[in-house]
Structure 1
Amino acid sequence: MALRHLACTFIILTGFFGCRNNTETAIIPDNCRLSAGDVVFRKGEGMTSRAVVFADKGGVYSHVGIVADSAGIPMIIHAVPGEPDFDGDPDRVKMDTPRKFFSSVNASAGEVCRFRGSPEVARRAAMYAIQVYRRGTLFDHDYDDTDTTKMYCCELVEAAYTHAGMPLTDGRKHCLSFPGMGTYRCMLPSDILNSPKLSRYMVFTDGKKQ
């Protein structure tokens, strides 16, 4: 509820009612080689994405996922609202191709980070994410990381690496305060991006490396 409320507040404050680009391409470079356990970030241009960046003071990205190996093919597992695959598809944890995750409809910029430690730890984190996807986990609109029956994007990535024995955020969270609604504590993408356990592998915008 916290970030959903922030999205509404952001719209009111900025008067932003932008349209999304319907010409779909992929911004991830063809030479980007993903590995299981890689943590991937993207910045969207939609209202909710802008609200997340607005809340994440100093942050760059609005969404995060984790790469997993699916029968030898790298896929991205992420918890996301508002991206149904079919009519009636609930907000949930999804497994998408990198090209879909980094579609220009959903992303204007992206980054791939790699775990600095053992590849086995990264592999275990990826396997946990697959389990979360396969159990049909719904998106957590309350952004409550004490309850893993539902998950939001940062919660999923952090839970995966915590399960593998290497939590990324070391407890870092943001405090979000709303008049009449109290204060919420939740992880935002910068809490994961700034982890010393991750190294930058590739940053890109519009399909070009930086």
Structure 2
Amino acid sequence: MKATICMALMATAMISCNGNNQNSIFPAGCELRTGDIVFRRGGGISSHAVMMADINGRYSHVGIVVDSAGKKMIVHAVPGEPDFEGDPDRVKMDTPEKFFSVTNANAGEVKRLRGDTLTPIKAAAFAMEIYCRYTLFDHDYDDSDTTKMYCCEIVEFAYAKAGRSLAGTVRHDIKLPGLNAFHCMLPSDICNSKLLISIIDF
């Protein structure tokens, strides 16, 4: 049953990206590896809210590169980016070009685990499992409950389960005007990890 759901989701992801000629800031010729961690900053309201909260950060969103039938894709959790009418906020799988489309990003970076090639592959496999179980987006930003997940939670969970925590125990108490209070990770907690090296920023 899980395999059937996963195949359906992957087909949806591929179909939604086929023929997608939208402009992207993703650099031509950039070679991603399975398990790479990708960051982006956008110009929308959600991105601005994250940047207000993340005073030590350059990015508002993070995802992890997976291998989907030989094609590099990005698993991430994001609200407000439906693939079709009625599509709920959930963990998604997009091409790098779509993840870094000019609609969603005005800056980006690719980082990689330093000196380790096996752990990223394991982490990517865990991220793919999260995608395949049709995990919904966690609007409460509560990483103690993995039935729903937000972007930082996916990356940290996948790497921690593979044996290398990136954010550690760091969490922030966030209170923005008009929103509930959250106790959560921020993109900079992962981006600033000394375990990572920068491959390219753009």
Shorter-chain TM-score range: 0.7 to 0.9
TM-score (norm 1): 0.83
Take 2:142 and 2:192, find their aligned partners in 1: how far apart are those partners?
Answer: 21
1:89 partner letter: D
Instruction: Quote the residue 1:186 is aligned against.
Output: 184
Deviation at 1:24? 3.6
2:38 paired residue among 37, 40, 43: 40
Take 1:79 and 1:50, find their aligned partners in 2: how far apart are those partners?
Answer: 17
Q: Deviations over 1:108-153 (max 9, x none)?
A: 0000000113211000000000000000000000000000000000
Instruction: Quote the residue 1:99 is aligned against.
Output: 97
Take 1:54 and 1:181, find their aligned partners in 2: how far apart are those partners?
Answer: 13
Q: Deviations over 1:29-85 (max 9, x none)?
A: 112100001000000100011000011012110100000011111000000100000
Where does the alignment leave 5 or more consecutive residues of structure 2 unmatched?
A: 1-20
Take 1:136 and 1:158, find their aligned partners in 2: how far apart are those partners?
Answer: 18
Instruction: Quote the residue 1:16 is aligned against.
Output: none
Q: Figure out how many residues of one structure are paired with residues of the other and give that number.
A: 182
Percent identity reads: 59
Q: Deviations over 1:80-112 (max 9, x none)?
A: 100000000000000000000000000000000
Instruction: Quote the residue 1:153 is aligned against.
Output: 151
1:115 paired residue among 113, 116, 124: 113
Take 1:35 and 1:178, find their aligned partners in 2: how far apart are those partners?
Answer: 36
Deviates more, 1:86-95 or 1:164-173: 164-173
1:125 paired residue among 100, 108, 123: 123
Take 2:177 and 2:47, find their aligned partners in 1: how far apart are those partners?
Answer: 21
Kept in 2: contact 1:38–1:113 (CA 8 A): yes
Take 2:149 and 2:162, find their aligned partners in 1: how far apart are those partners?
Answer: 17
Deviation at 1:182? 7.7
2:29 paired residue among 28, 31, 44: 31
The DSSP-based 3-state class of the residue aligned with 2:175 is strand
1:195 partner letter: S
Kept in 2: contact 1:56–1:174 (CA 8 A): no
Aligned CA-pair RMSD: 1.7
Kept in 1: contact 2:49–2:176 (CA 8 A): no
Instruction: Quote the residue 2:60 is aligned against.
Output: 62
2:172 partner letter: H
Where does the alignment leave 5 or more consecutive residues of structure 1 unmatched?
A: 1-22, 205-210
Take 1:185 and 1:144, find their aligned partners in 2: how far apart are those partners?
Answer: 7
Instruction: Quote the residue 2:88 is aligned against.
Output: 90
Deviation at 1:176? 1.3
Take 1:176 and 1:156, find their aligned partners in 2: how far apart are those partners?
Answer: 19
